Amino acid sequence: MRALDAGILVCGECHRLEYLCEGEVQHCSRCGSRLHMRRPNSIARTWALLITAAVLYIPANLLPIMTINFFGNGAPATIMGGVLELIHADMLPIAFVVFVASILVPTFKLVGIALLLYSVQRHQPMSARQRILMYRFIEWIGRWSMLDIFVIAILVALVNFGNIASIQAAPGAIAFCCVVVLTMLAAVMFDPRLIWDNTDAENEEDGRAELQSNKAQD
């Protein structure tokens, strides 16, 4: 049975249990944080962050993220360009890591969070276990997309020889940085308990609960 069905709230910060008092604003008796049945407006806020990230995803991939100036020849490099360059230099394992961290992961996160939101809203028959695994994976992997930003920071500091050779960061880096931060925030906003609130297995197990995710959300 869910804690909520027993009239118990879980503190979002310190996980202490408190009895629910209907119609009152409650605070945790241990850490003082405001108690909610589920994170407030979780679905709407996650959608908002996700859509903003999706819009910025376009310039992040199309604009150059850095300009490489080598003996007077300036060449802008996009994210994909950097990966291709590593492939041409026969550094396949590193090319693969950069490809996964900066192209595959952000794409997967955008699609994955959208799927989670859609399945929670539409009661899609995707198993809760699959969805929670996907959620944990998205939450865990989010920070690794910052890899490319850190590489730019290191290269900018290190390759700094005036006219001989220099690397400068370019506008695509700002968009990419925003995509990473926004998708991480979206994962934080999403309440994983919504995944379990509308599963059919739960209904069979627990005959008395009428589990409507929209009711549980507020």
Partner 1 sequence: MIQESGQPVDTRQALPPLKDLIACHECDLLMHHPHVGEEQKASCPRCGYELVVHRAQMHRRALALVLTALLLFIPANFLPIMSLNLLGQNAVDTVWSGVVGLYHSNMGIVAVVVFLCSMLIPLVKLLCQLLVLLSLPFPRWRPMGTQLYRAYHHLREWGMLEVYLFGILVSIVKLIDLADLHLGIGMACFIALMLAQVWLEVTMSPHQVWDALSEEEDNHART
- Interface residues with partner 1 (CB under 8 A) are 1-6, 8, 10, 13-19, 30-33, 86, 89, 91, 94, 97-98, 128-129, 132, 139, 142-144, 146-161, 164-165, 168-169, 173-174, 177-178, 181, 184, 188, 192-193, 195-197, 206, 208
Nearest approach in angstroms of CB 85 to partner 1 is: 9
- Exposed e or buried b for every residue in 168-191, given b needs 16+ CB within 10 A? bbbebbbbbbbbbbbbbbbbebbb
**Cα-Cα-Cα-Cα dihedral sign, residues 116, 117, 121, 122:** negative
The token pair that represents 204 in the structure block: 């069979």
How many other CB atoms are there within 10 angstroms of residue 44's CB atom?
12
Distance CA 117, CA 47 (A): 8
Nearest approach in angstroms of CB 213 to partner 1 is: 12
Q: Which is nearer to partner 1, 110 or 177 (CB)?
A: 177
Nearest approach in angstroms of CB 107 to partner 1 is: 18
Q: Which is nearer to partner 1, 51 or 146 (CB)?
A: 146
Q: Which is nearer to partner 1, 110 or 131 (CB)?
A: 131
Cα end-to-end span (Å), the chain: 19
Nearest approach in angstroms of CB 47 to partner 1 is: 21
